[in-house]
Amino acid sequence: MPASKHGSEQYIKQFFTTDAVAARPTSWVIALHAGNPGTGDANEVVDGNYARQAATFAASDQGSYWEGANVADVEFPAASVGADYTVTHFTVRDGVSGECLGIGALPVPIPVVEGGVITIPAGMAKVRGI
C-alpha cells in the first residue's frame, strides 16, 4: 500500500531535514472506499451502519523491505437496508485525528448489498516501506 502524501512528507522531514514532524499515532482505524480515495478522503463508504473500524498493526522485516500488517481480522458492521455499493479501496488512518496514513486497493473489489459484512483478514491490510 503506498503511503499518503502526508506519510511521505513526514518520512522526508524525519530523516532528511530538521523540520518538525507529526506525532506518532496512538491508535489506527481502517476505512472502506467505494472508489479511488485520491489523497485519502474521497469515496468513503456512505451507509447508515458503516463505521471505521479499529486495527492494530505489527511490523516485520521482509528481507528487502519492512512491512506492517493488521494482526487481527477487522470486521465492519452489516450493510444497512437497501445498501448496494462496491468496495474497491481501504485507507489506514490515525485513530484520533482521522488523517489518512496509507491507501490500498483491494485485489478484487467486494460488492456489498443489504446485510453484507466485510472482513479484512489478519495480515491483509499491509503498509510497506523500504
Q: Which of 53-57, 77-81, 88-92, 125-129 has the lowest mean pLDDT?
A: 125-129
Over its C-alpha atoms, the chain yields an Rg (Å, rounded) of 15
Contacts of 88 (CB under 8 A, 6+ apart): 33, 34, 35, 36, 105, 106, 109
pLDDT at residue 121 greater than cutoff 90: yes
The strand ranges marked E within 1-130 are 28-33, 53-55, 57-61, 66-70, 74-75, 84-94, 100-113, 119-120, 126-129
103, amino acid identity: I
Arithmetic mean of pLDDT, 54-77: 94
Q: What integer pLDDT is reported at residue 112 of this predicted model?
A: 98
CA distance 11 to 3: 10
Q: State yes or no: pLDDT of 52 exceeds 60.
A: yes
Return the amino acid letter for 104: G
Residue environment code for 55-94, b if the CB has 16+ CB neighbours within 10 A, otherwise e: beeeeeeeeeeebbbbeeebebeebeeebebebbbbbbbb
